[in-house]
């Protein structure tokens, strides 16, 4: 019972971290406090530094950890997925409204994970499909009033970000040491980041500036806390979740982010928000109940 409660607690922390990432990114980019490339740079750098520090403490605590062991836990494919997600996420929100951007991102994540699950031979029960549909319908209903025709570039960037995050999540299911894997993946993004910054800097269309103090602060918090530590926690729980459950749980993130907006920016609580929240939570409940019944039937 204790281990189960601990699992639920870590899942909840991970989802709150994801939601905080969205809020921090909006705060930094909406007011032009920093450009997308610089936000991504500070986010990945601070995330890699924080995770490396945690591994350093782990090294002295256990005495059986080596740098080589940490490095081998990650992979270049996961690192590339992480980088594409982070960069695409930042640039997409320059041209997309928050609602349509979130719908594209998490819709792409969910579809990617479901396709991976089906490709791997996982058969979804009728109750799981129903839960997925209910949760996605609630999510669509949540953002529907803000929908408009998105820019083609923004749509493509956010779709790529969602697919990349779906792949990163799927890869996390095979990780036996989540902290080491996340650290290795963050560190591996740095050479990719250098190449990308060089390409962007020679393209006058996307200017890179130093950013304001507040913009850099938001990016560092996003990287060190809500990305670095948050993703390590998410990697820790992924082996205990099915791909379909991991997908539908992430649909809770925009709901949490919206509630965070109500709390921190004095937005009003509407019947529309309550109905959307209940729909998403109901869909998640259906998937969880279906997963509990599946092993018995099998």
Domain ranges of the chain: 3-293
The DSSP result for 79-140, as a single string, is: HHHHHHHHHHHHHHHHHS-HHHHHHHHHHHHHHHHHHHHHHTTPPPPHHHHHHHHHHHHHHH
Provide Rg for the chain, Cα atoms: 19
| pLDDT at residue number 297 | 44
Rounded to whole angstroms, the Cα distance separating 143 from 255 reads: 10
Query: What pLDDT is stored for residue 149 in this prediction?
Result: 56
pTM > 0.85 = no
Q: Residue 230 and residue 19: Cα distance in Å, rounded?
A: 10
Cβ neighbours, 10 Å, residue 103 = 24
Distance CA 14, CA 8 (A): 10
Give the model's pLDDT for residue 99: 63
DSSP 8-state code for residue 97 = -
Nearest to 103 by CA among 140, 150, 137: 140
Q: How far apart are the first and last CA of the chain?
A: 24
Look at residue 201 in the predicted model and tell me its pLDDT: 83
pLDDT tens string, the chain, 298 residues long: the values are: 668 888 889 999 999 998 888 888 888 887 788 999 999 999 999 999 999 988 888 777 766 666 777 778 888 999 999 999 999 999 887 777 666 677 778 778 877 887 887 788 877 788 888 888 888 888 778 777 665 555 778 888 988 999 999 999 888 877 778 888 889 999 999 999 999 998 888 775 656 777 889 999 999 999 999 988 888 888 888 888 877 777 778 878 878 877 776 776 666 667 877 787 788 878 877 877 776 665 544 4
């Amino acid at each position: 019972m204790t281990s189960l409660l601990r699992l639920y607690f870590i899942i909840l922390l991970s989802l709150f971290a994801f939601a905080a990432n969205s809020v921090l990114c909006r705060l930094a980019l909406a007011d032009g406090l920093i450009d997308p490339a610089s936000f991504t740079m500070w986010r990945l750098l601070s995330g890699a530094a924080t995770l490396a520090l945690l591994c350093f403490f782990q090294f002295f605590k256990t005495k059986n950890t080596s740098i080589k062991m940490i490095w081998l836990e990650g992979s270049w494919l996961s690192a590339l997925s992480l980088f594409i997600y982070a960069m695409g996420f930042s640039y997409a929100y320059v041209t997309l409204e928050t609602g349509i951007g979130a719908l594209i991102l998490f819709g792409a994540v969910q579809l990617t994970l479901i396709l991976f699950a089906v490709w791997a031979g996982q058969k979804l029960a009728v109750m799981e499909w129903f839960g997925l549909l209910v949760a996605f319908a609630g999510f669509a209903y949540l953002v529907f009033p803000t929908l408009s025709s998105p820019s083609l570039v923004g749509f493509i960037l956010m779709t790529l970000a969602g697919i990349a995050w779906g792949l990163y999540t799927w890869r996390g299911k095979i990780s036996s040491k989540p902290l080491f894997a996340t650290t290795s993946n963050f560190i591996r993004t740095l050479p990719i980041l250098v190449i990308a910054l060089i390409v962007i800097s020679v393209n006058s269309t996307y200017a890179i500036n130093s950013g304001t103090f507040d913009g850099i602060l938001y990016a560092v918090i996003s990287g060190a806390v809500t990305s670095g530590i948050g993703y390590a926690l998410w990697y820790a729980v992924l082996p205990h979740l099915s791909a379909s459950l991991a997908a539908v749980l992430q649909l809770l993130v925009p709901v949490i982010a919206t509630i965070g907006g109500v709390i921190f920016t004095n937005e009003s609580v509407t019947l529309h928000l309550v109905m959307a929240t209940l729909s998403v939570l109901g869909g998640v409940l259906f998937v969880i109940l279906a997963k509990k019944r599946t092993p018995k039937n099998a």
